[in-house]
Amino acid sequence: MRGPISELMAILYEYARHIYKEDFVKYQIDKKRHFIDVNASQEYQIHHFRYVSRILGMEGVALFSPYLAVTRERMAKRTTEPAPEPTLGVEICHTEPACLKVGGKFFSEQGQKEVYYMLGRSLALMRPELALSQRLSAERLEAVFQAALSLSVDRFRFTADPRALDAERRVLEKALPEPARAALSRVTHEYVKTATPNDLRNYLEGAELSAVRTGMFVAGEIEPVKKMVLGENGASFRVQPRSKIRDLMVFALGEDLHALRVAVGTHVEVLARR
């Protein structure tokens, strides 16, 4: 996550994310009705969102919730319709700008640390370096990645489908301004010096591990995080829970977590009496 691939992905996201955006309609969001005013909301879990987004420096991320909007209307006796998406936790919406949608599972979760983890994990995956790992399928991301490389180098072992590669290259050629092309050229020439066939797969797994580490960082306790990670099964998860737990153990005992806590002011130091 600290190498040229993540830098390349961040450049693509900054300059070309509008190409891959989705409409709010796809996520069944009414931007006016379902928008949550985070600063004015008093729900317990919204307090958690304020805290986590502030810790991560991502206060600008908009929050939507059809579930909460309808629940509030039911409490005010303005509607009798059931609250939608009762099983939804936290979902990243790949709109422009990207936002979060929260549902019934998010509001029914009683554990504070578990909510912190859900939010931290999701917000991390909205960072420019990681966002395309969620916005695009692995197959399309490979084509986009190699198309970006092909803008600067021609001697490279391109493995993506040639037709997909050409299509993505044409799109990027139209979308990327000269500053982005120059930045991509610099990063590409740095990357190809050490490129290996497994780099993109490692990037995708690294993105998930980084998100899990972020959840651990904001949650601050290993047991609630372990419970959440063990429940992460399905096609949307690329790393097995056992591997994520192992990575978290190393992270929790290392210097990175300590440095992060010191940097944001969540580090607690107990001074022993002499």
Encode pLDDT of 211-244 as tens digits.
Answer: 999 999 999 999 999 999 999 988 889 999 999 9
| Residues 113 and 38 grouped into a single domain | yes
- 274 lies in a domain? no
Residue with tokens 């299509």, as numbered in its chain: 167
- Where among 197, 213, 234 does a domain terminate? 197
Query: Which tokens in the block code for residue 100?
Result: 């979060």
All residues at 6 or more sequence positions from 194 whose CB lies less than 8 Å from its CB, including other chains: none
Dihedral sign, Cα of residue 127, residue 130, residue 134, residue 135: positive
Query: Which tokens in the block code for residue 17?
Result: 């994310």
| Residues 232 and 216 grouped into a single domain | yes
- Where among 197, 230, 251 does a domain terminate? 197
Host domain of residue 176:
4-15+135-197
| Residues 190 and 209 grouped into a single domain | no
- Where among 150, 168, 197 does a domain terminate? 197
| Residues 35 and 110 grouped into a single domain | yes
Name the burial class of residue 81, with classes exposed (0-12), middle (13-18) and buried (19+) by CB atoms within 10 angstroms of its CB.
exposed
| Residues 80 and 51 grouped into a single domain | yes
pLDDT recorded at residue 271 = 59
pLDDT recorded at residue 11 = 97
How many structural domains are present in the chain? Answer: 3
pLDDT recorded at residue 191 = 95
pLDDT recorded at residue 266 = 82
| Residues 8 and 25 grouped into a single domain | no
| Residues 181 and 218 grouped into a single domain | no
Going from the first residue of the chain to its last (274 residues), give the mean pLDDT of each consecutive group of 10, the final group possibly shorter. 92 96 97 97 95 96 98 95 96 97 96 96 98 96 97 91 96 96 96 94 96 96 94 89 95 90 77 62
| Residues 164 and 221 grouped into a single domain | no
Q: H or E stretch including 217? A: helix 199-219
Query: Which tokens in the block code for residue 200?
Result: 């993109």
Which residue in 95, 90, 88 sits closest to 20, CA to CA?
Answer: 95
CB 133 within 8 A of CB 204: yes
Which residue in 15, 64, 7, 77 sits closest to 36, CA to CA?
Answer: 64
- 269 lies in a domain? no
| Residues 97 and 151 grouped into a single domain | no
pLDDT recorded at residue 223 = 94
246 three-state secondary structure: helix
Query: Which tokens in the block code for residue 264?
Result: 């944001």
- 130 lies in a domain? no
Whether the link from the prior residue into 97 is cis, omega within 30° of 0, is yes
